[in-house]
Chains A and B, each alone.
Chain A
Amino acid sequence: MSGFKKAMAISYIGYRTGHHMLRQGYKDVSRIVGIKVLDGIPKFTQNYIADGLTSLTRAERNKQWDFSKCINCGLCDALCTPIDNTRDLLSQGPSLAASSYSRAFPWYKHAEKYLSEWKACSGCGKCSNICPTGVPLKEIVAFMQRVIDKQKAGIMVAD
């Protein structure tokens, strides 16, 4: 019985190898003939953009350590001057960026209204200056906006 299983496994590996070689050959031929073949990030985009997933650059990944330092102290919300004191904008101070960036990318579209309002931000940097743990709030907002832009355009901008 084990001999049969072994034979099955070897034949499967053989099939995958042959298949891979054939696909590579098809790609090369397609390129020579002039048919467009997607590879790498564009291929990832084509397959996953419908689910709202986008790629992350290494620089962005490294920044996430800083993003996650929020201790929920509420100082940035209390002192953010650009966001107007109107009631429509309450609950939407800078700290919302620190608490919403870690959601899965498909959820980012729900933050869009908030991010568009954030554009009223004058960039005084008060939020980052008083943050006890130094969360780069403006960078988080830029990051989220970038992901949403990518989702919308459906293309990757490889840094």
Chain B
Amino acid sequence: MKADVVIIGGGLSGVVAALAAHEKGAKVKLVRKAYGRTALGNGTMSFAAQENDGQKNTLKSRMAIAAKNELLPYSVIKDPLKSMKQAYKQLAGHLSGGFEREIDDDTPVMLCLSEGGALLRSDMAVPQIKSGDLARYVGDGVKIAVIGFAELPFFRPKLLKEQWLMDIKEAGIEKAEIRVFSLPMLDDGKLPFFRMYSEAARVIDAMDALGPLAERIRDEIKGYKADLLLLPPMMGLARRDAVRDISELIGLPCAEVAGGHQAVAGLRLQQLLDEALQTAGVEIINGEAVGFEIKDGRITKLAVKSGGEKADIEAAAYVLAAGRFIGGGLREARGISEPLFGLPVMYAEKNIAGLPAIKLVERDYAAKHVIFSCGIDVNERMQPLDEKREVKAANLYACGDIIGGYDLVLDGCAEGVALASAYIAGANAAGGDK
């Protein structure tokens, strides 16, 4: 098999890199082992530090906070904000519907209630979550109605209410009020208990019409003048407009809370990304990259195992976007390693490859653990560096989570790094290096 650019990994960064290379006119193939962190995520993206910087909280001011942290990959990228904006603009052009929100210097942070009980700060989300953005109520009051369904015992709005209220008021919405309502999702009296959100989402998919459900919700919250109605993170998987439909039927802005474990929002984002690849004409190969051949400082071949068969792909450039431990870009068994190219795994300019995981965690649970921040090092052109801090191969690029230096959760810049680095890596792989 032959291609101009081969992308290894099909999450957010892999897709952005593929689209960037595709736009430069390259013939792109994407090798993907399985779904990873994007599909398992909560459907939100955060671009820069999540700290509250006071009044403004714009993307630019938070990027300035991020710039102070020298470990972040933003210190390597020339103009991260510019690349990020370009990448986002390109991605939004490929995603079908719901991603119109402009990403600009003075875009304020999005505030969404999460299923886990926190107020999430993020910059972008799937449409179902985005409509629940509380930032528009800052400096004002808001009345929120939260619906819990009896069939979902693991969604506990009553338990989380106090935490949510505290967080909302801290974010600058003084007169916040939350009322929790509970009703059965299905009205046939059978009351099955769902094991996970996706099951409930499939029941929503299979419903003939959402009218009866919307009517029962309206009856339940009658008498409470809410500004916003929040639903559990399960409003349909194949049915993309369930939240919008219910919102129209009830006559109230509706949204999902940002989902946690086994929710469907991340899967929706991944499906949108897959569709973007398909419409762009990027071929997806379901398989695992297992080996490579290097000659004169250039990678000539990539061995891919797919369905029990091995095949070689020859390309002019390769982009490693395999993620960290969930995606399989880094491996933890028998010492930390980068299994495909054998690159050194770095943290704060120290090679920690080969160390067991137990040496890379702190006693304090909430502390910054090295294991969650380590990854490979890259140069300005997103080329991975080897032990001597020289370019590993002239036509190898890396992007996304596999680049080390930041904690996926605590630093709150994972998707921003993914966008910026993938855009540069994809463009360089397609144009700059032939």
Q: A72-B262, A90-B192, A91-B195 are in contact. Are A132 and B36 (CB under 8 A)?
A: yes
Beta-carbon contact of A130 and B39 below 8 Å: yes
Name the segment of B160-168, B199-207, B311-319, B344-352 touching the other chain: B199-207
Contacts of B261 in A (CB 8 A): 74
Q: A78-B237, A87-B192 are in contact. Are A132 and B198 (CB under 8 A)?
A: no
Q: Is B294 in the interface zone, CB < 8 Å from A?
A: no
Q: Closest chain B residue to A72 by CB distance?
A: B262
Beta-carbon contact of A78 and B201 below 8 Å: yes
Min C-beta distance of B283 to chain A, whole Å: 15
Chain B interface category by residue count = 20 to 34
Beta-carbon contact of A77 and B199 below 8 Å: yes
A87 to B191, CA, bound (A): 11
Q: Is A7 in the interface zone, CB < 8 Å from B?
A: no
A134 to B326, CA, bound (A): 11
Per-residue B-contact encoding for A100-117, CB less than 8 Å = 1, 0 else? 000000000000000000
Q: A78-B201, A78-B237, A130-B35 are in contact. Are A90 and B40 (CB under 8 A)?
A: no
Beta-carbon contact of B203 and A75 below 8 Å: no
Q: Closest chain A residue to B323 by CB distance?
A: A132
Q: Is A155 in the interface zone, CB < 8 Å from B?
A: no
Min C-beta distance of A110 to chain B, whole Å: 16
Of A72, A86, A87, A129, which contacts B34 at CB under 8 A?
A: A129
Q: A78-B237, A85-B205 are in contact. Are A129 and B198 (CB under 8 A)?
A: no
Contacts of A73 in B (CB 8 A): 40, 262
A142 to B39, CA, bound (A): 28
Beta-carbon contact of A90 and B237 below 8 Å: no
Beta-carbon contact of A87 and B203 below 8 Å: yes
Beta-carbon contact of A134 and B34 below 8 Å: yes
Of B33, B262, B286, B328, which contacts A74 at CB under 8 A?
A: B262
Beta-carbon contact of A91 and B33 below 8 Å: no
Min C-beta distance of A118 to chain B, whole Å: 17
How many residues of A are counted as interface, with CB atoms below 8 angstroms from the partner's CB atoms? 19
Contacts of B328 in A (CB 8 A): 132
Q: Is B418 in the interface zone, CB < 8 Å from A?
A: no
* A interface, over-half SS: loop
Q: Is A131 in the interface zone, CB < 8 Å from B?
A: yes
Beta-carbon contact of A132 and B327 below 8 Å: yes
Of B39, B192, B197, B202, which contacts A85 at CB under 8 A?
A: B202
Min C-beta distance of B244 to chain A, whole Å: 21
Q: Is A21 in the interface zone, CB < 8 Å from B?
A: no
Q: Is B19 in the interface zone, CB < 8 Å from A?
A: no
Beta-carbon contact of A79 and B194 below 8 Å: no
B348-394 residues at the A interface, CB under 8 angstroms = none
Per-residue A-contact encoding for B200-242, CB less than 8 Å = 1, 0 else? 0111011000000000000000000000000000000100000
A132 to B327, CA, bound (A): 7
Point out which of A72, A78, A129, A133 has the most chain B C-beta atoms below 10 A from its C-beta: A78
A22 to B165, CA, bound (A): 81
Min C-beta distance of A42 to chain B, whole Å: 34
Beta-carbon contact of A75 and B33 below 8 Å: no
Beta-carbon contact of A129 and B286 below 8 Å: yes
Contacts of B237 in A (CB 8 A): 78
Of B264, B286, B326, which contacts A78 at CB under 8 A?
A: B264
Beta-carbon contact of A75 and B205 below 8 Å: no
Contacts of B195 in A (CB 8 A): 77, 90-91
A75 to B203, CA, bound (A): 16
Q: Closest chain A residue to B33 by CB distance?
A: A134
Contacts of B264 in A (CB 8 A): 78
Contacts of B40 in A (CB 8 A): 73, 75, 132
Beta-carbon contact of B194 and A132 below 8 Å: no
A141 to B192, CA, bound (A): 25
A75 to B205, CA, bound (A): 16
A102 to B39, CA, bound (A): 27
Contacts of A86 in B (CB 8 A): 206
Min C-beta distance of A97 to chain B, whole Å: 14
Sorted from nearest, which 5 A-B pairs have the closest CB atoms?
A78-B198, A74-B262, A85-B206, A130-B35, A74-B196
Other than the given A74-B262, A91-B192, A91-B199, 13 more pairs (CB < 8 A) read: A73-B40, A74-B197, A78-B198, A78-B264, A78-B267, A85-B202, A85-B203, A90-B199, A90-B202, A91-B194, A130-B39, A132-B40, A132-B327
A interface vs B, CB < 8 Å?
A: 72-75, 77-79, 85-87, 90-91, 93, 129-134
